[in-house]
Amino acid sequence: MVAHRVKGYGVVILTNGDAGGILTREIRERVARAYGWDTLDKPVLR
């Protein structure tokens, strides 16, 4: 889960595999780019 409390955007990604971290990172970056998230703010990782 990655979310920005103030701006109200976020994404939850679930994987089922040993290499899920690689896939999660790619999806998170593509979602942020597609929706124009402010990359200067640090998201809250949970």
pLDDT in tens, 4-40: 888 889 999 999 988 899 999 999 999 999 998 876 5
d(CA 11, CA 33): 13
pLDDT of residue 11: 94
Beta-bridge partners for 44: 3
pTM: 0.70
Q: Which residue has the higher pLDDT, 42 or 28?
A: 28
**Rounded to 5 degrees, what are φ and ψ at 34?**
-65, -35
- Tell me the CA distances in angstroms from 20 to 3, 24, 35, 43, one per residue in order: 19, 6, 22, 19
Contacts of 34 (CB under 8 A, 6+ apart): none
Structure tokens at 38: 């402010």
